[in-house]
């Protein structure tokens, strides 16, 4: 019997050991964006592998050119058991600006019910409650009521380039009735929600080269073409003051939401609360749309980094040789990542003033926007579990972020998709002082365990 009450008692009993294991997991510096952390990432994968093996899983390491992925499976002895493929990741974002962290990012700190560490939420926290729920169900019940396949990606934060390539060759192993991405969130600590889709992404680097080397801005100022000026000229043409992206064709394929779909979504946005939480009103993006529409239903073009010239203390009167920008576009269903990448690249090349050279590297590893049906069995099972854990009806939401692997994973597995998780917008993921709450760690455990139980009960 796996009621919420029983699961809760089990969790409380196991909590000290689970917490210890969670903190161990957080200590690995598994940053995928920087190859200097390759060994630490492998150590993290090794630890997970041992943990899952000990829990009763068959575990394979799937090697890539970068960090490996883990594939773990558990065969249920139940008759006619369906298969659920769960996806999480163990890699994390870089830690800069390091000076803004109040505690070291890889030395987890528990303070007032919150765990502070890089990856505390994204995605080690969510990965851990998933693994812990599976382990606990096996320990308490002697097995699982359904077949489980588990992928723990090592490169999600850089767009899953390795796993993406493996999906085709691993199709047979990945076959499942349901596939669930465990990397999402809820709108508030008391707002249970299943996510019905997320935006896609395509990223690129822009490099503007002026003279061969840096020059003195006195002797050469007004003579040499400063590539920072050229970069500003280019980037200023990408969006208008109303936040509309001016790249031709950018919005051509955007799928509009039906009235029914729109009705289902929780679209009310609290500006005052946003300002309180983040220190500024939600005035980014296309002014003609509401904030949730801008975050969920509209694509973006965002400059994630810009750098050129002197950035140190004091002043340096330099005309730099090079200026750079990093750009990402968040995409909605029907937009094709590679097509958008090429459109932006061509627009930049066309708008580069003469006297400088521009290079645009569109990165591999993007992914399209995703939507799934609220009526599917897997979405309904999660919605029921969330409702039982929170003792209130479950909402349906979308996610503005991207999990580029989702589409490929859905296609490779052939399963019905659900997206779930326990992140909050205030968790500071991808930023200094990332944190996750102990409450949500438990809620995640309960929701995951209860959903598996529900899928087992409904298996006929």
Q: Are 370 and 407 in contact, with CB atoms under 8 Å apart?
A: yes
The encoded tokens of residue 130 equal 């998933």
Residue 329: Cβ within 10 Å count: 25
Q: Does 428 bind its own copies (CB under 8 A)?
A: yes
Closer residue to its own copies in complex, CB, 162/400: 400
* Residue 439 engages its own copies in binding (rule: CB under 8 A): no
Site for its own copies in 327-356 (CB under 8 A): 328, 330, 353-356
CB of 43 to its own copies, least distance (A): 20
Q: CB-wise, 55 or 93, nearer to its own copies?
A: 93
User: Judged by CB under 8 A, which of 228, 378, 441, 455 binds its own copies?
Assistant: 228
The upper half-sphere exposure of residue 221, i.e. CA atoms within 13 Å in the direction of its Cβ, equals 5
Does residue 280 touch its own copies according to CB under 8 A?
A: yes
In whole angstroms, the minimum distance from the beta carbon of 270 to its own copies comes to 12
Contact call for residue 222 and its own copies (CB under 8 A): yes
- Rank residues 20 and 281 by Cβ distance to its own copies and give the closer one: 281
Residues 197 and 419: beta-carbon distance below 8 Å: yes
> Does 323 engage in binding with its own copies (CB under 8 A)?
yes
Cis amide bond preceding 97, omega within 30: yes
Q: Where are the alpha helices (DSSP H) in 365-437?
A: 377-390, 406-413
The footprint of its own copies on residues 47-66 (CB under 8 A) is: none
How near is the Cβ of 233 to its own copies at its closest, in Å? 7
Told to check if 139 binds its own copies by CB under 8 A, we report no
Q: What is the DSSP letter of 296?
A: I
Distance from C-alpha of 414 to C-alpha of 410, rounded to nearest angstrom: 6
Piece of 19-27, 67-75, 250-258, 400-408 that binds its own copies (CB under 8 A): 400-408
Rounded to the nearest whole angstrom, what is the least distance from the CB of residue 169 to its own copies in the complex?
Answer: 25
Half-sphere exposure of 141 (CA within 13 A, CB side): 22
CA 393, CA 192: separation in Å to the nearest integer? 7
**CB-facing half-sphere around the CA of 335: CA atoms within 13 A:** 30
Given candidates 2, 10, 30, 32, which one binds its own copies under the rule CB under 8 A? 32
According to DSSP, the β-strands at 69-74 and 58-62 are antiparallel
Q: By CB under 8 A, name the one of 207, 224, 264, 373 that touches its own copies.
A: 224
- Using the rule CB under 8 A, is 217 a contact of its own copies? yes
The CA distances from residue 225 to 23, 232, 233, 296, in Å, are 52, 12, 12, 40
77-136 residues in contact with its own copies (CB under 8 A) are 93-94, 96-97, 100
CB of 79 to its own copies, least distance (A): 41
Q: Among residue numbers 294 through 313, which ones bind its own copies (CB under 8 A)?
A: 294-295, 298, 300, 302-313
CB of 442 to its own copies, least distance (A): 23
Q: Which one of the spans 108-116, 230-238, 379-387, 443-451 is the region binding its own copies (CB under 8 A)?
A: 230-238
Contacts of 175 (CB under 8 A, 6+ apart): 83, 413, 414
Residues 147 and 74: beta-carbon distance below 8 Å: yes
Q: Does 274 bind its own copies (CB under 8 A)?
A: yes
**DSSP result, 17-49:** HHHHHHHHHHHS--BSSSGGGHHHHHHHHHHHH
Q: Which of residues 351-390 bind its own copies (CB under 8 A)?
A: 353-356, 363
The token pair that represents 180 in the structure block? 């669930």
Cβ at position 54, least distance to its own copies in Å: 33
Whether 63 contacts 49, CB under 8 Å: no
Interface with its own copies, residue 286, by CB under 8 A? yes
Residue 268 binds its own copies, judged by CB under 8 A: no
- Minimum Å gap between C-beta 84 and its own copies is 25
Q: Tokens 């050129």 label which residue?
A: 308
**Smallest distance, its own copies to C-beta of residue 117, A:** 16
Task: Provide the angle, in degrees to the nearest 10, between the axes of the packed helices 438-457 and 124-141.
Answer: 50
- Residue 29 contacts its own copies per CB under 8 A: no
CA distance linking residue 54 with residue 410, whole number of Å? 28
Select the residue interacting with its own copies from 2, 10, 352, 402 (CB under 8 A): 402
* Least distance in angstroms from the C-beta of 190 to its own copies: 19
Q: Which sign, positive or negative, has the C-alpha torsion 329, 332, 333, 335?
A: negative
Contact status: 283 vs its own copies (CB under 8 A):
yes
């Amino acid at each position: 019997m796996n009621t919420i009450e029983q699961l809760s008692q089990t969790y409380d009993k196991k909590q000290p050991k689970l917490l210890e294991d969670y903190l161990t997991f957080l200590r690995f510096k598994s940053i995928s964006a920087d190859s200097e952390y390759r060994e630490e990432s492998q150590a993290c994968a090794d630890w997970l592998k041992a943990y899952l093996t000990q829990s009763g899983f068959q575990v394979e390491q799937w090697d890539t050119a970068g960090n490996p992925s883990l594939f773990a499976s558990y065969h249920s002895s139940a008759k006619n058991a369906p298969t659920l493929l769960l996806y999480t990741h163990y890699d994390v974002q870089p830690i800069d600006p390091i000076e803004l962290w109040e505690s070291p990012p890889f030395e987890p700190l528990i303070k007032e019910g919150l765990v502070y560490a890089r990856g505390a939420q994204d995605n080690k926290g969510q990965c851990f409650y998933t693994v812990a729920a599976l382990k606990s169900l096996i320990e308490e019940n002697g097995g699982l009521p359904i077949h489980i396949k588990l992928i723990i990606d090592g490169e999600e934060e850089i767009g899953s380039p390795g796993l993406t390539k493996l999906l085709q060759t691993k199709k047979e192993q990945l076959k499942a009735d349901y596939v669930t991405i465990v990397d999402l969130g809820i709108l508030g600590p008391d707002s249970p929600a299943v996510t019905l889709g997320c935006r896609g992404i395509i990223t690129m680097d822009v490099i503007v080269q002026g003279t061969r080397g840096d020059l003195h801005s006195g002797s050469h100022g007004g003579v040499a073409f400063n590539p920072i000026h050229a970069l500003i000229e280019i980037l200023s043409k990408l969006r208008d003051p109303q936040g509309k992206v001016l790249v031709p064709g950018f919005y051509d394929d955007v799928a509009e939401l039906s009235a029914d779909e729109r009705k289902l979504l929780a679209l009310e946005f609290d500006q005052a609360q946003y300002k309180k939480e983040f220190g500024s009103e939600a005035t980014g993006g296309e002014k003609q749309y509401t904030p949730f529409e801008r975050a969920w239903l509209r694509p973006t073009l965002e400059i994630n980094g810009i750098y050129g010239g002197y950035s140190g203390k004091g002043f340096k009167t330099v005309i730099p040789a090079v200026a750079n920008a990093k750009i990402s576009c968040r995409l909605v269903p029907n937009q094709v990542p590679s097509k958008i990448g090429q459109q932006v690249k061509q627009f930049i090349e066309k708008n580069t003033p003469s006297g400088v050279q521009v290079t645009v590297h569109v990165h591999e590893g993007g992914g399209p926007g995703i939507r799934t049906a609220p009526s599917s069995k897997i979405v309904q099972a999660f919605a029921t579990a969330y409702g039982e854990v929170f003792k209130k009806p479950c909402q349906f939401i979308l996610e503005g972020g991207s999990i580029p692997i989702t589409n490929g994973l859905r296609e490779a597995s052939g399963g019905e998709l659900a997206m779930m998780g326990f992140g909050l917008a205030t968790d500071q993921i991808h930023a200094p002082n990332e944190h996750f709450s102990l409450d949500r760690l438990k809620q995640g455990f309960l929701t995951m365990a209860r959903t598996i139980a529900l899928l087992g009960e409904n298996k006929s």
